[in-house]
Amino acid sequence: MIGGLVVAAVASITFIIPLPIEWLIVLRVVQGFGFAAVIPALDAVADRRAEAQGIVGTALSTATAVGSLVGGALFALGVAIPFVASAGAGIVFALAAVPWMLSAGARQPVPEGESA
């Protein structure tokens, strides 16, 4: 999870470098893989899986609705500002996730014949 956020943040910050379109496409794919690496964290704690999926679903819906407005407002401040803000937010969220992941502990094995 944390690695995925860091990969996505690094890919986001590199968008401020003037690169050919091919490289921007590659960076966007890398950024997508970074964000996709966060999704398995939903299943990290079996007894709270539904709660985690609900929170992520709400966050994704809110991000879709609000992200364009915030990104546009940041773009008005400068072309690179949305990418710097995205990278900064990714690093902040990665650091904020560390204590939560440490407190969650290791998953307990599910006895055979039972579902998680």
In a domain, 115, yes or no: no
pLDDT tens digits, one per residue of 54-106: 877 888 888 888 988 998 999 999 988 998 898 888 888 888 877 777 776 65
In a domain, 12, yes or no: yes
Which pLDDT band holds residue 30 (cuts at 50, 70, 90)? very high
SS3 percent helix, strand, coil of the chain, rounded to 5, is 80, 0, 20
Total number of domains constituting the chain: 1
Please state the pTM of the whole predicted model: 0.61
Asked whether 45 and 104 are in contact (CB, 8 A), the reply is yes
Query: 76 lies in which domain range?
Result: 2-103
In a domain, 36, yes or no: yes
In a domain, 18, yes or no: yes
Which pLDDT band holds residue 108 (cuts at 50, 70, 90)? low
In a domain, 29, yes or no: yes
- How far apart are alpha carbons 105 and 108 in whole angstroms? 9
pLDDT of residue 116 exceeding 60, the answer is no
